[in-house]
Amino acid sequence: MKSIVQRFLAVKEALDISKADFCRGAEISTTSLDNYINGKGAPKALFLANICNKFGVDGTWILTGDGEMFRKDEVGDPVVLRMREAERLIKEHGEVGLEIVRLTLGTSDETSKSDPGVCDEKIASGY
């Protein structure tokens, strides 16, 4: 990929997350992201560091395009990323967040009553 903007947009696409979730993880406003995309300023180092830390992106790749997009450690593991998102939802929204996680996993109380093993199966499959 030619530009740093193309690379961080590729991260968002690879993770299949919304613009809002990407910005939340990268700790920037959607306006700032739009400005970067439209060439109104260069991405700040903290923004790029947050992409690497939050989403498990390789620092060399985000800066140069060389190598692989994601690091080969647990930080870039999609299951770990999902677990972090689940933790965030629960922390921010309490019981509502927990129910969102359960519904996402297909393990809400109603689902669990009909098939008690569904939780273990979903977790084992990485959702």
Task: Please give the class, per CATH, of domain 4-72.
Answer: mainly alpha
Handedness of CA 79, 30, 19, 15 (dihedral sign): negative
Distance between CA atoms of 112 and 123, rounded to whole angstroms?
13
Of 7, 8, 33, nearest in space to 20 by CA: 33
Distance CA 18, CA 56 (A): 17
Vertex 37, ends 71 and 16: CA angle to 5°? 45
H/E stretch holding 18 reads none
What is residue 28's predicted lDDT score, i.e. its pLDDT?
A: 95
What predicted TM-score, i.e. pTM, was given to this entire model? 0.58
Show Cβ contacts of residue 23 under 8 Å, excluding neighbours closer than 6 positions.
29, 30, 32, 33
Report pLDDT for 40. Answer: 94
Q: Where in the chain is the domain with CATH 1.10.260.40?
A: 4-72
Q: What is the mean pLDDT for each group of 10 consecutive residues in the chain (127 residues)?
A: 90 93 94 95 91 90 91 64 76 81 67 50 49
Q: Identify the pLDDT of residue 1.
A: 61
What pairs with residue 57 in β-bridges? Answer: 70
